[in-house]
Amino acid sequence: MRVLITGGAGFLGSHLSDRFLAEGHTVIAMDNLITGSTDNIAHLAGHPRFTFINHDVTNYIFVEGPLDAILHFASPASPVDYLELPIQTLKVGALGTHKALGLAKDKKARFLLASTSEIYGDPQVHPQPETYYGHVNTIGVRGVYDEAKRFAEAITMGYHRYHGVETRIVRIFNTYGPRMRLRDGRVVPNFIQQALRKEPLTCYGDGAQTRSFQYADDLVEGIYRLLHSDEVEPVNIGNPGEFTIKQFAEVINQLTDNPAGIVFKDQRTQDDPQVRQPDITKAKRVLGWEPRFDVEEGLRRTIPWFREELQRRGELS
């Protein structure tokens, strides 16, 4: 297959590029590098089946030659990022998805949308199955991401129903692993860096809010299976192992032998979901997929990457 990955220089886009290349496919990674980085794909420079194009997908996308699949992963994805980049976040979810779907229609390519558990908002159903419609504050600060992704799902179904484009939608739950941006502000990079520096971990609020964290390789496997499946409607891909943020901080302190403990900070964003956990019954049934890495195994593979990255930058002795 010849595959276009938008957001290809991002955390997830770069892991997807690796996977598709390893399976023998040709990958074109497209990114405007506002939150992505060529550091994430530097190891692919010169690969005979890999190309990088610096382009903002909210503008008309031109790709020469045939395409078999388009994976639309371009978007700021951390709350700190989309709070700082509200217009770009809305544009890439709306205009960028429109352009990528137009390209898929033109090339007769299969289209896979990276959607998100954020479309469930601050959920009132727990855990969240795909049939839950969500509880989103349209005008809240997180609305720029949540509504852009909800629109992206709607236009994806529109192109499927009206134009017959073959589409897939993955709803991604909190994912971590090597190549997360050090300063993206999310809980995993924050906690790991604080722990490696032997500083206290900053729990926002009382730390009683929950998240369910999956390791990047599990997500990539789920996406690979979804693309090759016949499932048109959204599929949750996430690890159902649910932790309070305080428990999660304790796990990281334990794995890093950090004696500095936890501090509580009054820094939760508006509408920060109180709970989040995927119901993965559908992924199990239609994809035969379930996560393989529990949180400790995943973190044991992630922490050394952060340590090396901080040392490389001279930020950790």
| Residues tagged active-site | 145
Rounded distance, CA 40 to CA 280, Å? 29
CB of residue 80 to ligand UDP, shortest distance in Å: 7
278 binds ligand UDP (CB under 6 A): no
Among 203, 216, 299, 303, binds ligand UDP (CB under 6 A): 203
CB of residue 312 to ligand UDP, shortest distance in Å: 22
Rounded distance, CA 112 to CA 204, Å? 34
CB of residue 264 to ligand UDP, shortest distance in Å: 9
195 binds ligand UDP (CB under 6 A): no
C-beta separation of 172 from 237 below 8 A? yes
Rounded distance, CA 216 to CA 16, Å? 10
Query: What proportions of the chain, in percent to the nearest 5, are helix, strand and coil?
Result: 40, 20, 40
Contacts of residue 168, defined as CB under 8 A and 6 or more positions apart, other chains included, come to 110, 111, 112, 113, 226, 227, 229, 231, 232, 235
CB of residue 90 to ligand UDP, shortest distance in Å: 17
DSSP per-residue letters across 137-162: -TTSTTHHHHHHHHHHHHHHHHHHHH
The site map against ligand UDP for 65-84 (x = CB under 6 A) is -------------xx-----
Rounded distance, CA 117 to CA 278, Å? 8
Q: Closest by alpha carbon to 220, among 286, 265, 155, 287? A: 287
211 binds ligand UDP (CB under 6 A): yes
197 binds ligand UDP (CB under 6 A): no
Rounded distance, CA 262 to CA 194, Å? 10
204 binds ligand UDP (CB under 6 A): yes
The site map against ligand UDP for 153-192 (x = CB under 6 A) is ---------------------x-----------xx--x--
277 binds ligand UDP (CB under 6 A): no
Listed ranges 123-131, 153-161, 198-206, 283-291: which one lies at the site for ligand UDP (CB under 6 A): 198-206
Among 47, 268, 301, 307, binds ligand UDP (CB under 6 A): 268
Q: Is the peptide bond before 127 cis (omega within 30 degrees of 0)?
A: yes
Listed ranges 15-23, 54-62, 127-135, 202-210: which one lies at the site for ligand UDP (CB under 6 A): 202-210
245 binds ligand UDP (CB under 6 A): yes
C-beta separation of 202 from 265 below 8 A? yes
Cβ proximity to ligand UDP: between 40 and 209 the closer is 209
Rounded distance, CA 177 to CA 218, Å? 10
Whether the CA torsion 82, 85, 87, 93 is positive or negative: it is negative
**145, exposed or middle or buried, with CB in 10 Å at 0-12, 13-18, 19+?**
buried
202 binds ligand UDP (CB under 6 A): yes
Cβ proximity to ligand UDP: between 25 and 268 the closer is 268
CB of residue 235 to ligand UDP, shortest distance in Å: 19
Token pair, residue 27, equals 């990958």
Cβ proximity to ligand UDP: between 167 and 177 the closer is 177
Listed ranges 17-25, 49-57, 196-204, 280-288: which one lies at the site for ligand UDP (CB under 6 A): 196-204
209 binds ligand UDP (CB under 6 A): yes
Residues making contact with ligand UDP (CB under 6 A): 78-79, 174, 186-187, 190, 202-204, 209, 211, 245, 268, 272
